[in-house]
Amino acid sequence: MDKVDVIVIGAGASGLMCAATAGYRGKRVLVLDHANKAGKKILMSGGGRCNFTNMDAAPKHFLSDNAYFCISALKRYSPQDFVDLVDRHGLDYIEKTPGQLFCEHSAKDLLSILLTELEWSGAQLKLSTDIKHIEFHDDYTQLTTSQGTFQCTSLVVATGGLSIPTMGATGFGYEIAKQIGHDVLATRASLVPITIQPERKAQLSTLSGMACDTEVSSNGVSFKEPMLFTHRGVSGPAILQITNFWQPGEALAVNITPNLTVNDLSKIRQDTPKKSYESVLSNLLPKRLVELVKEEHSWLSERSAQISNEQIEQLNHYLSHFDIKPNGTEGYRTAEVTLGGVNTNEISSKTFESQKQKGVYFIGEVLDVTGWLGGYNFQWAWASGYCAGQYV
């Protein structure tokens, strides 16, 4: 029987950060993961270059049933703290869009920094370890695993959410939470592409592969970012962002020309009265989109001078209320995150310890804290991992 101070279940972003932090405090730390490799999501994130933080990260970029829960940790471990860490290791990184930091070369560079920190801190890592049984006692926890039995004073659950099961994601953290009497809030795939009803998908199939600036709104929240038509539906930053707020079954407002007003549509008609309106519009919008619009507005082929104000109004409405007919999402297979999770009202926002079971901690995405797209979710993993690592 091996006895250690801390066992961390999950060698992902939050687990590695927590383990190294505790290790540096002189704790004997063991990290267990059923996967054959640590940090698989780090490696696949940001198109292989990991958008590892967002310099603007603030509580407003996170969703949780308890909006106050994330404030303390985000304050105690800031994006700059993480940047200082990677700077000490000489990581090359770039700011792609304002605030969003990515590895310049590969996410492997970032994972290697975390594993180096883990090693320097003295924490041990055991991969390919299945946890079969957990026994909770007043002052210790015992884990029966495929690699032996272990006891620890502090158990950290850093098993993440349900997205990308092929990368090792499981609902194990939620099961542990339920085992000790926690409430787990309903989970849902998020930051995920939206699928389209079959008939509408067939109509929009010619747009597949086309990206355009859009303004997408749902439940009072809007994102003005690019959208991408795919062969399954729609994706791209605007769509991924809105899935944190939109639910299947609800309407989704899509303005496919947020930078074009009814006045612009009217003015181009006046500027070029002799040309077909279609050809004039093609200078402003992707040709494939104009073709699609023409299928439903045959008058587009007429000369600009002949187009009425009413037709311009109609066109403006069509573009600014573009009918996507969403019918669901691609689900956990491609989602970046999981909404919902362990109810944060039963977790200390200072130490991350469970209020139901002494010595048990929950960090990272397994908790009901979900960030926007743009490096916020990793910042939550670092911040919650670091803060718990100070107390385990």
Where do contacts with ligand FDA occur on this chain (CB under 6 A)? 9-15, 33-35, 40-41, 44-46, 50-51, 131, 158-160, 163-164, 168-170, 172, 336-337, 364-366, 375-378, 381
Distances 66 to 60, 179, 243, 358 between C-alpha atoms, Å? 12, 22, 19, 21
Closer residue to ligand FDA, CB minimum distance, 125 or 289: 125
Interstrand relation of 211-218 and 326-329 (parallel, antiparallel or unpaired): unpaired
Q: What does DSSP say about strands 51-54 and 62-63: parallel, antiparallel, or unpaired? A: unpaired
Instruction: Give least dist CB 359 to ligand FDA, A.
Output: 19
Decide whether 277 or 352 has the Cβ nearer to ligand FDA: 352
Q: Give 41 or 201: the residue with its C-beta nearer to ligand FDA.
A: 41
Query: Which of 31, 312 has the CB closer to ligand FDA?
Result: 31
Rg of the chain taking only CA atoms, in angstroms: 25
- How near is the Cβ of 43 to ligand FDA at its closest, in Å? 10
Contact 273, 305 (CB under 8 A): yes
List, as one string, the DSSP characters of 103-131: ESS-HHHHHHHHHHHHHHHT-EEE-S--E
Specify the residue, 93 or 378, whose C-beta has the smaller distance to ligand FDA.
378
**Residue 11 Cβ vs ligand FDA, minimum distance, rounded to whole Å:** 5
Smallest gap, in angstroms, from Cβ of residue 115 to ligand FDA? 12
Q: Report, in Å, the least distance between residue 49 CB and ligand FDA.
A: 8
Q: Which is nearer to ligand FDA, 10 or 193 (CB)?
A: 10
Shortest spacing between CB 40 and ligand FDA, in angstroms: 6
CA distances (Å), 321 to each of 254, 255, 283, 300, 326, in order? Answer: 6, 5, 21, 18, 13
Tokens of 371: 């960030």
Report in angstroms the alpha-carbon separations of 62 from 107, 125, 370, 374: 23, 30, 5, 11
Is the CB of residue 271 less than 8 Å from the CB of residue 296? Answer: no
Q: Minimum CB separation from ligand FDA for residue 228, in Å?
A: 15
Task: At 37, list the tokens.
Answer: 């490799």
**Which residue of this chain has its Cβ atom nearest to ligand FDA in the complex?**
12
Q: Which is nearer to ligand FDA, 191 or 212 (CB)?
A: 191
